[in-house]
Structures are given as structure tokens and as C-alpha cells.
Amino acid sequence: GESVGLHLPTLSVQEGDNSIINCAYSNSASDYFIWYKQESGKGPQFIIDIRSNMDKRQGQRVTVLLNKTVKHLSLQIAATQPGDSAVYFCAENETGRRALTFGSGTRLQVQP
């Protein structure tokens, strides 16, 4: 299921370190953002979401930060594990639109 052949930016981290994956968006009217994880051979899986009335949201080992001023979104993964190795996509939506707009993704490689 990975974007084989697509030149994705790659983030390589050591197991146990924290990872930060960044995403820039262009639509200033977007008011909803999602991070997806896509492992090899699988479809994208929901990780965490955030609405534009927030600037931070925490889940289990993950935190999403939203900076609307510069239209920037980040995903922080604490204590990265080998099972976190995957391609991570951000997606955005604007109220009223029936579809998400996806970014191109970042490949996270966790070194044991």
C-alpha cells in the first residue's frame, strides 16, 4: 500500500527517540486536519485529528500541533517503535467539502 516509487521525504530515527513529521497546507479556509499512517500492503489508517479551533491535541504517544498562522501541521510520535515505520500523510478539509485533500506523505524509518 505504500507509494512505491514516489519520491517521499524520509525521516530516519532511532528506536526510542521522538519523531516529528511536518506538513504544510495551502488552504487558509481548511478547518479540519487528519494524520494517517499507511503501512506496506495496507490502506491509510486514522491516527489523530484536530479542528482549527485548537492548536494542540494529544493521543496515545502522538501529538498533533496546528499553526494556522503559517499553515503548518506536525505530528509528534513519542518513543518511536519499529512498528511506527510507515508512510504518514496529513489531510485537510474545509467545512462543506465532501472530500479530504491529502499531502504527498513522509516515510518514517525506525532503526532498531
> Binding marks (x or -) toward another protein, 38..77, rule CB under 8 A?
---xxxxxx--x----------------------------
Strand partners, 10: 107
- Give the range of 20-28, 37-45, 52-60, 75-83 binding another protein by CB under 8 A: 37-45
Scan residues 82-111 and list those touching another protein (CB under 8 A).
89, 91, 93, 97-100, 102-105
Place of cell 498562522: 69
Nearer to another protein, 14 or 45 (CB): 45
Give the number of other CB atoms < 10 A from CB of residue 88: 23
Which residues contribute to the site for another protein (CB under 8 A)? Answer: 1, 3-6, 32, 34, 36, 41-46, 49, 89, 91, 93, 97-100, 102-105
